[in-house]
Each structure stands twice: as structure tokens, then as C-alpha cells.
A and B are shown apart, each in its own frame.
Chain A
Amino acid sequence: MNTIVQVEGLRKTYGAIAAVDDISFEVQEGEIFGMVGPNGAGKTTTIECLEGLRKPDSGTVRVLGVDPQREGQTLCLRVGMQLQQSNLPERMKVWEALDLYTSFYPKAVDWKELLVQLGLEEKRNAPFSKLSGGQKQRLFIALALLPDPQLIFLDELTTGLDPQARHAIWDLVRDVRARGKTVILSTHFMEEAEKLCDRVAILDLGRIVALDTPAALIHSLEAEQRVIFSLDGSLPPALEKALSMAGRLEVQGEQVTIHGKNGRKVPLVSEVVSLLTEQGINFRDLRTEQPTLEDVFLSLTGRKMRE
């Protein structure tokens, strides 16, 4: 696999504040690479250094093999960018924006196809100001895809969108990757990073505190997973004894919770279910709760992510 982005010791300060403090990572071709962290963690600054919009104070950055500061002009033909704070004129219509931006590139894909792919066909003649947040973001993705880029940056793509629009955008991002493009995105939604990204860098105060696949990050936490179910009546003593072998037991009325360590040989849930069936116990509402990236962030920084 080819390395698309290489960052080595990137640093950027604003006054006395280090927005990005010695960050290094690589992104491989075809990945959805996520940067996640609270506001002010340095996600946008990092992305803007990669896009060539900001000049790093020190460190080296290579995007598609070139330095974005020196060869920004050639890079913008091969890279699509969606920015956190950008706009189009209020009265510009959707098709006009695509048509105009097409004229900036020597070779661009057919915007009429993008319009269909991104589900904007009905909004073709709508002015920018009349679009919903999700529609605006879809238009920005379409603009970013115009040069048929190898790499696409999506900065805080779903901030301010309702959950339904957010899920629709996730599907689009997966589509983009399926077309062979590499995606680098930033988000402050842990759930988004977990569901969407192949690898995630967790940023806090300008540093990468962890970088791996979401599953590995969660696994490394050795956090507890929980199995919860309800019984009709009280817990039989034989079952109570057997369950406490599997993990820490907690009984609240009819509801039973078993806390078990992650990374066991037999998954906690199958152990619990087999005990229940062995003893012929009627149970209902059985569910498991896994630790999430949210828990990972909490255990790494000692703070909760806040939106």
C-alpha cells in the first residue's frame, strides 16, 4: 500500500499557545483516517497544514509526495477539500456553484453525475442559503470531488447536523472511499470516528494521545463489558454463584448486570447465555454494553469529551 500522507514532528503555535504540538502520523492509500478530539485539540490546524492553508512552524509534511506549502498549486488539482468554515454566496444556485467550480480545473468530473450521486438533483436550482445543513455539506463534498481527487479532506463534516443527516453523510463518505479515494476527516463525535474510520488518531491539547483502529483502541483499554438481562422473580442462588465466577455481579430488582473484563477467551455474553440456558432460566431483555471510544478518551485524558 502506498503512503499518501506523511507527517513528522508537526508543530504550530498561535502566540503562546501550541495548537499542534509535535504530531507525527502516516495515512495509507484507501483509508478513512479520522482525527478525533474535543474543540481546540488541534484537528483543524493539522488538516489545514496538510491542505497548505497554514504554514507549520516546524516539522515536515508530505501530501501525495509533495510539500503542500511549496506545491500547493499542483496539489489542489489532486486533493479535494471540505473546510470547516466556508460558504458560497447566498444567492448562488446549486448547479451554478458546481458549474463555476468545474471551470477552475483543467480536468473535472461531470458535475451532473455528482449531483445525482450526492442526492442533490432536486435541489439543483435552489439557492445556497435555502439549503439545509446536510444539503450544504453534500454540496461541499460534491465540490471537493470535482477534480476527481486521490485524497479528500473532510473537516468537521457533520457538526450541527441531525442524526439522520449525519448517517446519510457517513454512507456518502463510505461511497467515496469505495471509489478508491483516501479520506482524512476530523470530528468531535467519538461515535462517528468509531463507526466510520479505519484508523483513528485521538488528539488532545495538540498531541496525539492514541492512534490505532477503533477496535484495537477499545480493546487496548481492557475496559469492562457489561451483560444486562432481566428475570421474572428473584435470582436463584445456583445461578448467582455461577454468574459471579464470570464477572462482578450487580442485582437491581429484576435486572441483573454482569461486569466482565474485555479480552477473555470466551466472550462474556456467550458464557452468560449458556449458563442461563443450562439452568433453564427464563430471561428477557438481554443486551450487552461495550466500551466505546468515549471510554478510551476518558481513560487516556481523565476528562470527558464534550460537544
Chain B
Amino acid sequence: MKSLLKMTWMETKLFLREPVSAFFTLIFPLVMLFIFGSIYGTQSVPGTDSTQGAIGTLIPAFTAMIIGMTGLMPVTITLATYRENGILRRLRTTPVSPLVVLAAQVMVVFVMTGLGVLLLAIAGKVVYHVQFDGNVFSMAGGFTLCSLSFFGIGFILAGVMPNARTAQIVAMVLLYPMLILSGAAWPRELMPAAVQKISAFLPLTYVVNLLRGLWVGESWGTHLLDVGVLVGMLLLGIIISVKTFRWE
């Protein structure tokens, strides 16, 4: 327990010292919010059935964006780099359990993602007086489920890919189209219908659907498909990442 806490704290410090991941998790979503906020203001996005302004649609979508980015980039890169550089090798010579190493990573990225989302929500509230119709606990639960299932993808990539460089490239190749097509970077409704069909095959789409729904106060029951897909991903992520974990 002592080592888990120490390691989590250490990894938190390392996360914040890495300018790129700290920027994309904490700052970049705010920048996106202000760009879209200055385009649409409090109007609703054309084509959405939401009664809310654009920002009300964008905050859950950008939450999905943060989840997608943190799940694929820092998790994958950190773990793959740690393996490639022999950092895990050094840990292996100590009594520390691999579960502690993995759990510390999960906690750090989860807290950082949460922090990014919190900053986003505060900015939305203060700057754009955004309307939130959902339940805070329900939203937090949805966020947790979505984050953990997405970290699973990162762990799988880190475990399966031969080296850090490949893992990083594959993560980027998966991430960017997914951000654009799933409706995480801007409303899906702005894209042609044919393109929208592709989104059904992207895991991030289910995150966007669930979080947008919970934001406007829809019940979990209306999102059984999304929840099912995400729970499936989570289980798969846990099983595969534990099976593929290698010290070197």
C-alpha cells in the first residue's frame, strides 16, 4: 500500500513534468472550448436536436476527447517506454508487484483526466454559463466507466506492440480519425450521413453517446448499447493487459 501511494505520487509528478501530455490533458480541451465557444456562443449547433447551446453539447464531447487522448497516448507511451528503456527491468529486481506498477499508472491517468474534465466544466460554467441537466453522480459514474475502458486500449497496445515507437504510432493512427469521426472533437451532426455511419465502429463513439446523454439527464437505461460496449471493452482490457504484461 505504501509503495502504491508513493508510486502514484511519483508518477503524478512525472506526468506533470512531461509538457506534452500535461498540455493535451489539461490545456488543449480548454483551447478547443474557447475556439468553438467563440464560433457558436450560446447558439445551438446546426443539426443537433439538443435544446442546449453548443457548449452544452461540446463539454461532454470534449470530455470524451480527453478520455480518448489520455487513454491512448500517455498510458501507451509511458508503459511501452518504461519497458523499452529498462525501467520496468529495474523495478523487477525489487519486491514490488506488477499490479502496483499498473495500478499506479491507472490512478495517475484517471486523476489527470478527471482534472482536465473539471477544468473544462468550470470554464464552461464560468465563461459560458453552460446548462447541466444531468445528475453529478451519474455523470461521474459514466466518466469513470468510459475512462477505465479506454485506458484498457492503451494497456493492450503497450503490451502487444514490440516497442515504444510502434506503440506511439499505432496509438496516433487510432486516435486521430477516432477523435474526428466519433464526434468527440466537434459535433457528429456536422458531418455527412455516410461518414456518421463509420462512427458506429469506433469505441470512442460510445463514450460520446453515453456522456452526452448523461449530461442532458437521460437515464442509463436509454444507453444500454453504449454501456454494454464499454463494459465489454473494460473486461477485455483487464484480461488482455494482465496477460500481455511483460517486464521486458
Contact = CB atoms under 8 A, between A and B. Distances in A.
A100 interface: yes
Contacts of B93: 51, 53, 76, 81, 83, 86
B10 A92 contact: yes
Interface stretch (A101-109, A252-260, A282-290): A101-109
Interface in A112-155: 140, 143
Name, among A76, A99, A103, A105, the residue most crowded by chain B CB atoms within 10 Å (CB to CB).
Answer: A103
B18 A91 contact: yes
Contacts of B95: 73, 76-77, 104-105
B246 interface: no
Interface of A: 51, 53, 73, 76-77, 81, 83, 85-89, 91-92, 96, 99-101, 103-105, 140, 143
A76 B91 CA distance: 11
A104 to B, nearest CB: 4
A103 B17 CA distance: 22
A60 B68 CA distance: 49
Contacts of B13: 96
Interface stretch (B79-87, B113-121, B130-138): B79-87
Contact of A103 (B2, B14, B87, B92): B2
Contacts of A99: 6
Contact of B6 (A86, A88, A92, A100): A100
B94 interface: yes
B242 interface: no
Nearest to A88: B87
Nearest to B94: A104
A46 to B, nearest CB: 16
Contacts of B3: 100, 103-104
A104 B96 contact: yes
Interface residues of B, number: 21
Nearest to A74: B95
- Most A Cβ at <10 Å: residue of B10, B92, B94: B94
A83 B90 contact: yes
B2 A86 contact: no
B86 A83 contact: yes
B90 A86 contact: yes
Contacts of B96: 104
Interface in B86-106: 86-87, 89-90, 92-96
Q: Identify whether the interface residues of A are mostly helix, strand, loop, or mixed.
A: loop
A81 B2 CA distance: 22
B107 interface: no
Interface of B: 2-3, 5-7, 10, 13-14, 17-18, 82, 85-87, 89-90, 92-96
Given A76-B93, A87-B85, A88-B87, 4 more contacts: A51-B93, A76-B95, A96-B13, A100-B6
Contact of B90 (A77, A87, A103): A87
Contacts of A73: 95
Nearest to A80: B93
A83 B91 CA distance: 11
Contacts of B94: 76, 101, 104-105
A105 B95 CA distance: 7
A99 B2 CA distance: 11
A147 B85 CA distance: 24
A92 B10 CA distance: 8
Nearest to B1: A103
6 contacts: A85-B89, A86-B90, A87-B87, A89-B87, A91-B14, A104-B96
Nearest to B11: A89
Nearest to B100: A104
A207 B5 CA distance: 45
Q: Which 8 A-B pairs have the closest CB atoms?
A: A86-B86, A86-B90, A103-B6, A81-B93, A104-B94, A103-B3, A87-B85, A91-B17
Given A92-B10, A96-B13, A103-B7, A53 B85 contact: no
